[in-house]
Structure 1
Amino acid sequence: MGESPCAQAAKADPARGRWTGRLVVRLMRLIAPLPLPVLRGAGWLLGSLCWPLARGRRHVALVNLRLCFPQWSEKRRRQVARQSFICFFQAFLDRAWVWHGAPRLLLERVRITGQADELRRPEAAVLFAPHFYGMDAGGSAIMQRLIQRGCTIYTIQRDAALDAWMRQGRQRFGDVQPLNREDGVKPVIKALRGGRYLYLLPDMNFGPQESIFVPFYGVPAATVPSLPRFARLGRARVIPVITRMTAAGYEVQVHAPWQGYPTDDVQADTALMNERLQEWINAMPEQYYWVHKRFKTRPEGEPPVY
């Protein structure tokens, strides 16, 4: 789910980050047994406090929303951005019970709906899991109940304690193979052809390398075409998995596999991914990761937007 506030602090001050990460991990273990309303209330408080203080991230979120929803009023955009801050912190604190709480909590608080039987089949699949704040809870619930062997791509965190914590959390249930983003495509394809399910989060700006520009809400967005590429090379189905935060916890919506996907047109396939992602964002815009600089990489000659 992008970087945590403490990971961002570690980048700004590595010495501070060394103790901040260990402190956060200990705190998350301590709060895991707390009732969900208490954790959600604490997340609401943290998000509300962070909204006026985190000027840089607030600016990024508002620029993203202005580009993607020019038809909205400025008041509406600020309301969604503020609520997105709150959802960010609520989901971050929810990792306490997802990764450290009793397994029954995940069974009680996370519902899996839709085409769940598609995840019980032996053939590999790429699970398209966009950056909605519930994606860690959704991934854990799927591994706990449906998938025997999975894999996920991760970026090494600068703080060693946070890096270990995140990898261990995502490997808590089932047989999950973590794949370092820096190792390239070959380990991913090998895992897919070996029958593993890939939990993929491709809807971020990873820079100009290997990216192509396709529309995202009508704005050219540098997008890595990893979804169609991995599906084609790994001979795997593509199954969207969208996790929504609810008052009772989360709902994981497993959609039907995309038929006729991928095609031989990588540009069209990647554009289709963004087009369908927009439909899910429109249904719950406050739960999407707007603090990421999605439009940082611009087409040649285009001015920066942040």
Structure 2
Amino acid sequence: MSAAPKTFSVLPPTGSPGPLWLRGLARLPLPVLRAAGWLLGAALYGLAPKRRAVAVRNLALCFPHASAAQRRAWLWQTFRHFGQAFVDRVWLWHAPPEVVARRVRLEGAWQVLAAPGPVVVFAPHFVGLDAAWTRLTQAIAREWAGVYAPQVNERLDRWVWQGRHRFGQPKIMSRREGLRGLARALRAGAAIYLLPDMDFGAAQSVFVPFFGVAAATVTSLPRLAALAGAPVVAVVARLDRRGYRVWVGPPWAQYPSGDDEADARRMNAELEAWIAEAPGQYHWLHRRFKTRPPGQPPAY
């Protein structure tokens, strides 16, 4: 997530509660906010046919043996959870800190992230990404860094940028900085929040299976870990009725291995197992298979 987007130049103080109307919305009961998110998801389902078609294709490619009814259920869950996670940002970024701490529960080996020294956090694109980031930066006082993709809408861009700065003083870099900014942060001993499970094109990628389909997979996870001698720790966020469960796994053993392709295969295999537990909470709206191996037809 470094330099601020061009849409504004001055950030509010760390922990700024935000506008009064957002603070008011953030105090609504969670079931009310989740109902609003349900409505948003339903609207997106109906009004975004291109994204719906992408998700349909992704689910068909990744779960060819699932029934059509099961894939339709996962499709609807994808949009519903997306809408609910979007609305949840209101309380994540504007509710009192104790509300965030109560609703976003840390599980697993999360204390390992408090140890001094660099660490690479593998954070796949589940709907709870912002919940995990917000809670970890609240609970663990250390240097944090990540990558930010600017939003098209200026007001939304400002809101997301400020929200991700709510706790601590994280270094959030634009995607244009690439791996250089993250490498500098790692060398300085930071924990970097890395989201490498999307199709970023053929450059610096290898084609390895993702649910049995060749997928262009960037090798930033093993390369950054090797660069700083940093452990890799996975963070998986699950949306539930009480808020979110954020599971932090132990450091991966014998990773990186020195073989980028083998390490990319392992990353995808680990991710597949987590997705299989809750397919409807993964970000299927992204064209994960848009880059094809030479000679293969387009996936979409």
Whether these two folds match at TM > 0.5 is yes
Matched, 1:74 2:74: no
Shift of 1:50: 2.6
1:72-104 Cα offsets, whole Å, 9 max, x none, are 011110110111100000000000010111111
Residue 174 of structure 1 aligns to a residue in which SS?
coil
User: Normalised by the size of structure 2, how large is the TM-score?
Assistant: 0.91
Shift of 1:192: 0.5
- Inter-CA distance 212–87: structure 2 relative to 1 (3 Å threshold): same
Matched, 1:212 2:210: no
Matched, 1:191 2:185: yes
- Inter-CA distance 87–97: structure 2 relative to 1 (3 Å threshold): same
The aligned residue for residue 42 of structure 2 is 48
User: Normalised by the size of structure 1, how large is the TM-score?
Assistant: 0.89
Residue 98 of structure 1 aligns to a residue in which SS?
helix
> 2: CA distance between counterparts of 1:256 and 1:160?
38
Q: Percent sequence identity over matched residues?
A: 48
The aligned residue for residue 265 of structure 1 is 259
Shift of 1:126: 0.6
Aligned residues: 283
> 2: CA distance between counterparts of 1:275 and 1:173?
32
> 2: CA distance between counterparts of 1:295 and 1:29?
40
Shift of 1:158: 2.9
**1:100-115 maps to which residues of 2 (within 5 A)?**
100-115=94-109
Is the helix fraction higher in 1 or 2?
Answer: 1
The aligned residue for residue 59 of structure 1 is 53
Residue 185 of structure 1 aligns to a residue in which SS?
helix
Structure 2 portions without partners, runs of 5+: 1-18
- Inter-CA distance 47–184: structure 2 relative to 1 (3 Å threshold): closer
> 2: CA distance between counterparts of 1:187 and 1:50?
34
Question: CA RMSD for the aligned pairs?
Answer: 1.6
The aligned residue for residue 242 of structure 1 is 236
> 2: CA distance between counterparts of 1:90 and 1:27?
19
Matched, 1:221 2:215: yes
Matched, 1:201 2:201: no
Matched to 2:26, the amino acid is A
The aligned residue for residue 275 of structure 1 is 269
> 2: CA distance between counterparts of 1:213 and 1:233?
22
Structure 1 portions without partners, runs of 5+: 1-24
- Inter-CA distance 28–221: structure 2 relative to 1 (3 Å threshold): farther
1:197-239 Cα offsets, whole Å, 9 max, x none, are 0011110111222222111001011111111111111221100
